[in-house]
A and B are shown apart, each in its own frame.
Chain A
Amino acid sequence: MGRYDSIIVGAGHNGLVCGAYLARNDQKVLILEAADEAGGLAASREFHPGYTTSIAQSVSHFSEQVSRDLNLAAYGYDRGTTALPLIGLGASGKHVVVEAKSVQGVGDDDAMEYTGYTRQLEKFADALQPFWLKTIPRIGPGGLRDVLTFAHLGLSLRKLGKADMREFMRVASLPARDLVEENFSSELLKATLSWDMLTGAKMAPRSPNSSVLLMLYRLAEQSRGTHTIPSGGVPGLIAAIQKSAQASGVEVRCSTAVEKITVAGDENGLQVTGVTTTAGEQISADRVISATDPTRTFIDMIGVEYLDIGFTNRIRRLRCDGFVGKLHLALSKLPGFTGLDTPNARMIIAPNVDAIEFAYDDAKYGRCSDDPVMEIVLPSLIDASLAPDGGHVLSANVMYVPRALKGGWTAAAREQILNRCIEVISAYAPDIRDCMVHAEFLTPEDLENEYRITGGHWHHTEIAMDQMLMMRPTYEAAQYRTPIPGLYLCGAGCHPGGDITGAAGHNAAHEILR
């Protein structure tokens, strides 16, 4: 076995990407995963015999550079050639269909406006693109490299030209609603376009903060914000990363939960020495890289006695409550969606922006809305192996579902939200109940417990102005290094954040190898 150069806690996609890069640079790497397979929220989940899906239900801006560097195509990653159209489901089949370059189902004014809108956002996204795969330097005295990164960012924005730069400064912190309101008139279109600015975050259409920046992040890469379902579903991508990592020599050990990251201390200070598993096994390494969320990493696995008090309290205050529930339906046959030939799309159920806002209002106060809004895909339309013959899988992100429901997530509360979701869907797919074989609903609390993510938050901690860039997850730990020598972070809690991009894993590996 021998001593490891690096142990990575968690075989989510960022852990795997980080490990792959390190192994390619001759490190001996062990990745420990508590679940019985790799992938984290992207791992495959057989929620009913023969029916498989994953919490992450589609892929959009996975880093092309990571894909190339790790040669993922050779290991079976096929992004999928056709992007899923984004469809805003309308009453009685009057849908809005959004594609990369055009939109249908709206008036000519909106259709025209859409071209300019996407062009502008893409221009902004291009200006930011180089920084998702970079360590954002800390503020204060830094080396030449840090100065260059800041200079590059400044130059990149300046290169937009005066008018666009001004416009960028104006819209960067706009609420999603303001941005769509000033561009479009169709209520359904406005709601549909708001979706990707909000989902995964504790952000409603009227929340000023980071919605537009989140959208620009998601518009990165050539995918331009469109989503695909890779062959094998999202777990197909995980399998490719894992194979690539293993081919470089990474050892991935599943069903091995880390209890503690071990720290040794003497008069020279602290040093991470390895990990202890819940089974009591001690494994030593020169460094430990945590792909799990910052709260679990620092508070649970390291322990506050090794941390400064101010730092601990910044970690404690990270906003980690997830607001996305997950609905999985096992279907005996393909349900009919009114007005659609085939529901091979990302379908948004949110008739207008306020419908999203009101669902948020309920969740904000610990209630679950009776009118949830959601994003639906049927991955089995792309990969038939995800369901038995003729059958299908419906997978939906449901907002806003509070982690801490008033009165708790009782059986009755779960039953109610599940039924409400199905009722809402049946307004657009009237035969949905006839097709249903099995249904499951996962609250953020379920995601927290089953996937070991604080708050069940997609991004491990909220992506917001105060938790972005050189403040993510918090200063003193925002450059993948931490105050404890030998401990690094590589998960969604680091810059640039969550979604399946591989960027945090890539950046952490580069910081470690620097």
Chain B
Amino acid sequence: MVTTDRFAGERLKLSPFYPRQEELNIREAWSSWNGYKFAEYYYDVEYEYFCVRNLCGTYDICPMQKYEIKGPDAEAMLNRMVTRDVGKIGMHRVAYCMWCTDEGRMIDDGTVFRLGPDRFMLTCGSPSIAWLEKSSFGFDDVVVTDITDDMAALSLQGPTSYAVLKKLGLDGIETAKPFDIRVFPYHGSQLMVSRTGFTGDLGYELWVEHDLGLTMWDELYKAGADYGIQPYGEAATNMARLEAAFIMPDMEFNEALKTVHFQHDQTPFELSLGWLVDFRKPHFSGRAALLEEKRRGPTYTLTKLDIEGNRPAEGAHIYSNKRCNREIGYVTSAMWSPVAKANIALAMIRTEHLDGPLWAEIYYEKELRHHSRVVPCEKQSKPFWAPARARATPPPEY
């Protein structure tokens, strides 16, 4: 049959989980991520958020970019690209990493999975094959393959996630510590489970070959039926990650390679992620610039704020006084946090003003009337949400 769809090449790709997502997305709330049709939410944002915090939810991470980096030079290649020491990632372990331009500006962050002595998987939010190709030039023996479309991956997050995996029959999952990887035989293939996620809570990410995606979904939902399993979309993820104080592209940082204006991108130190930069490594791309940045101190520092009142401080400016005549920063993400019972925000604040008073000028709308309010902010040193179960091994079963 001849296809008559003139826009065939332009249409959004469908996740291997799409047949189930389609059925569950009763609000038809679709957006897109990296060319995939992607749920903004399925039923209700708050409902999905509470599922993740109180029971468990699944989040489709098929559109997340996945690269296999393989060969005797794989470790050296990655070690030169990312700021952390890849040599210290143990076998079947995952590390949160970031990579920077020569000028020390952040390109993207992601996770590096060590799957073998010479085999890694890198995951990240945006397509990065061009940078990976640049990064692997000059290494004799490393092959980078985009495996995004070859895999089906699902994030299972929330307090009952562990119980669901036990129910699924994953013997040994109880020993998996945060950032551990476990591999299980699965329908003649493999199911890889990593104890990772983007919610700051107990959770796992499940990885299978593309064609086993639906099978995995069905088996997981069967096992999770009594544990409140529910899909959640982009909006609930954004709430959960903010409570965990995780950074988001286009919110907390601008990817350096996509930034036009000079220094409208960020350094790891500005994002309070200096701990990811390992200067004990003799070299990595951007080291000299980052060393200078560390010496000089970042211009801005990403700061966690507890803000008075209950009006989310979205888009608010931060001032050093109540009169708001000295602007010292801006809010990048903000929300009322149900779990922390606090009005929380992440904000970029000029480092020299960090120790002084912080005031947020919040604009809000009430039945088409616009108001503003200036309220004091308090710096927080810890994530707004970091339950003990997220780190416990074995985790509580509920």
In this complex, the member of A264, A267, A309, A313 whose beta carbon has the largest number of chain B beta carbons within 10 angstroms is: A309
Q: Given contacts A267-B280, A312-B137, A316-B137, is CB(A305)–CB(B287) below 8 Å?
A: no
Q: Which of B76, B102, B283 contacts A269 (CB 8 A)?
A: B283
Q: Which of A264, A299, A476 contacts B138 (CB 8 A)?
A: A299
Is A308 part of the contact surface with B, judged by Cβ < 8 Å? yes
Q: CB distance A305 to B285 under 8 Å?
A: no
The residue of chain B having its C-beta at the shortest distance from the C-beta of A316 within the complex is: B137
In this complex, the member of B102, B279, B285, B287 whose beta carbon has the largest number of chain A beta carbons within 10 angstroms is: B102
Q: Which of A265, A269, A308, A313 contacts B137 (CB 8 A)?
A: A313
Q: Which of B76, B131, B280, B291 contacts A309 (CB 8 A)?
A: B131
**Chain B residues numbered 23-47 whose CB sits less than 8 Å from any CB in chain A:** none
**Chain A residues numbered 293-318 whose CB sits less than 8 Å from any CB in chain B:** 299, 303-313, 316
B residues in contact with A266, CB < 8 Å? 282
Q: Given contacts A304-B80, A308-B102, A309-B81, is CB(A269)–CB(B134) below 8 Å?
A: no
Is B186 part of the contact surface with A, judged by Cβ < 8 Å? no
Q: What 1/0 flags go to A241-271 for Cβ under 8 Å of B?
A: 0000000000000000000000011110110
A408–chain B nearest beta-carbon distance, Å? 23
Q: CB distance B102 to A311 under 8 Å?
A: yes
Cα separation A483 to B286 with both chains bound (whole Å): 11
Q: Given contacts A310-B101, A311-B102, is CB(A304)–CB(B280) below 8 Å?
A: no
A residues in contact with B288, CB < 8 Å? 269, 308, 483
B274–chain A nearest beta-carbon distance, Å? 15
Q: CB distance A309 to B285 under 8 Å?
A: yes
The residue of chain B having its C-beta at the shortest distance from the C-beta of A315 within the complex is: B138
In this complex, the member of B79, B283, B287 whose beta carbon has the largest number of chain A beta carbons within 10 angstroms is: B283
Q: Given contacts A269-B287, A269-B288, A304-B80, is CB(A309)–CB(B135) below 8 Å?
A: yes
Cα separation A363 to B246 with both chains bound (whole Å): 55
The residue of chain A having its C-beta at the shortest distance from the C-beta of B80 within the complex is: A305
In this complex, the member of B79, B137, B138, B288 whose beta carbon has the largest number of chain A beta carbons within 10 angstroms is: B138
Q: What 1/0 flags go to B286-300 for Cβ under 8 Å of A?
A: 111001000000000
Is B184 part of the contact surface with A, judged by Cβ < 8 Å? no
B residues in contact with A316, CB < 8 Å? 137-138
Q: What 1/0 flags go to B79-93 for Cβ under 8 Å of A?
A: 111000000000000
Q: CB distance A304 to B138 under 8 Å?
A: yes
Q: Given contacts A304-B139, A310-B101, is CB(A267)–CB(B279) below 8 Å?
A: yes
Cα separation A483 to B81 with both chains bound (whole Å): 16
A residues in contact with B283, CB < 8 Å? 265, 269-270, 305-306
A residues in contact with B280, CB < 8 Å? 267
A99–chain B nearest beta-carbon distance, Å? 49
Cα separation A299 to B291 with both chains bound (whole Å): 24
In this complex, the member of A267, A310, A311, A316 whose beta carbon has the largest number of chain B beta carbons within 10 angstroms is: A310
In this complex, the member of A266, A299, A304, A311 whose beta carbon has the largest number of chain B beta carbons within 10 angstroms is: A304
B residues in contact with A267, CB < 8 Å? 279-280, 282
A282–chain B nearest beta-carbon distance, Å? 19
Q: CB distance B139 to A269 under 8 Å?
A: no
B259–chain A nearest beta-carbon distance, Å? 14
Q: CB distance A303 to B285 under 8 Å?
A: no
Q: CB distance A312 to B282 under 8 Å?
A: no
**Chain B residues numbered 313-345 whose CB sits less than 8 Å from any CB in chain A:** none
Q: CB distance B81 to A305 under 8 Å?
A: no
The residue of chain B having its C-beta at the shortest distance from the C-beta of A311 within the complex is: B102
The residue of chain A having its C-beta at the shortest distance from the C-beta of B257 within the complex is: A310
**Chain A residues numbered 262-298 whose CB sits less than 8 Å from any CB in chain B:** 264-267, 269-270
The residue of chain B having its C-beta at the shortest distance from the C-beta of A485 within the complex is: B288
Q: Given contacts A269-B288, A304-B137, is CB(A309)–CB(B80) below 8 Å?
A: yes
Q: Which of B76, B279, B285, B291 contacts A308 (CB 8 A)?
A: B285
**Chain B residues numbered 89-140 whose CB sits less than 8 Å from any CB in chain A:** 101-103, 131, 134-135, 137-139
A297–chain B nearest beta-carbon distance, Å? 13
A residues in contact with B101, CB < 8 Å? 309-310
A residues in contact with B291, CB < 8 Å? 269
A residues in contact with B137, CB < 8 Å? 304, 312-313, 316
B residues in contact with A309, CB < 8 Å? 80-81, 101-102, 131, 134-135, 285
A126–chain B nearest beta-carbon distance, Å? 38
B residues in contact with A307, CB < 8 Å? 138
Q: Given contacts A304-B80, A305-B80, A310-B102, is CB(A270)–CB(B138) below 8 Å?
A: no
The residue of chain B having its C-beta at the shortest distance from the C-beta of A298 within the complex is: B138
B residues in contact with A304, CB < 8 Å? 80, 137-139
In this complex, the member of B137, B139, B279 whose beta carbon has the largest number of chain A beta carbons within 10 angstroms is: B137
Q: CB distance B285 to A270 under 8 Å?
A: no
A residues in contact with B77, CB < 8 Å? 305
**Chain A residues numbered 306-361 whose CB sits less than 8 Å from any CB in chain B:** 306-313, 316
A residues in contact with B287, CB < 8 Å? 269, 308
B residues in contact with A299, CB < 8 Å? 138
B16–chain A nearest beta-carbon distance, Å? 33
The residue of chain B having its C-beta at the shortest distance from the C-beta of A483 within the complex is: B288
A residues in contact with B285, CB < 8 Å? 308-310
B275–chain A nearest beta-carbon distance, Å? 16
**Chain B residues numbered 347-375 whose CB sits less than 8 Å from any CB in chain A:** none
Cα separation A312 to B101 with both chains bound (whole Å): 12
A22–chain B nearest beta-carbon distance, Å? 26
**Chain B residues numbered 130-169 whose CB sits less than 8 Å from any CB in chain A:** 131, 134-135, 137-139
Q: CB distance B138 to A303 under 8 Å?
A: yes
B77–chain A nearest beta-carbon distance, Å? 8
A315–chain B nearest beta-carbon distance, Å? 9
In this complex, the member of A269, A270, A316 whose beta carbon has the largest number of chain B beta carbons within 10 angstroms is: A269
A residues in contact with B76, CB < 8 Å? 305
A residues in contact with B138, CB < 8 Å? 299, 303-305, 307, 312, 316
A177–chain B nearest beta-carbon distance, Å? 37
Cα separation A269 to B295 with both chains bound (whole Å): 15
B residues in contact with A306, CB < 8 Å? 283
A91–chain B nearest beta-carbon distance, Å? 50
Cα separation A308 to B291 with both chains bound (whole Å): 14
Q: Which of A265, A313, A476 contacts B282 (CB 8 A)?
A: A265
B165–chain A nearest beta-carbon distance, Å? 38
B290–chain A nearest beta-carbon distance, Å? 11
**Chain B residues numbered 186-243 whose CB sits less than 8 Å from any CB in chain A:** none
B216–chain A nearest beta-carbon distance, Å? 36
Cα separation A209 to B341 with both chains bound (whole Å): 65
B residues in contact with A303, CB < 8 Å? 138
**Chain B residues numbered 56-76 whose CB sits less than 8 Å from any CB in chain A:** 76
Closest 8 CB pairs of A and B: A265-B282, A304-B138, A310-B102, A308-B102, A309-B285, A267-B280, A308-B285, A313-B134
Q: List 30 A-B contacts (CB under 8 A).
A: A265-B282, A265-B283, A266-B282, A267-B282, A269-B283, A269-B287, A269-B288, A270-B282, A270-B283, A304-B137, A304-B138, A305-B76, A305-B77, A305-B79, A305-B80, A305-B138, A305-B283, A306-B283, A308-B286, A309-B80, A309-B81, A309-B101, A309-B131, A309-B134, A309-B285, A310-B101, A312-B138, A313-B137, A476-B102, A483-B288
**A309-B134, A313-B134 known, 8 other contacts, Cβ within 8 Å:** A264-B282, A265-B282, A269-B288, A270-B283, A304-B137, A309-B80, A309-B101, A310-B102
Q: Which residues of B contact A (CB under 8 A)?
A: 76-77, 79-81, 101-103, 131, 134-135, 137-139, 279-280, 282-283, 285-288, 291
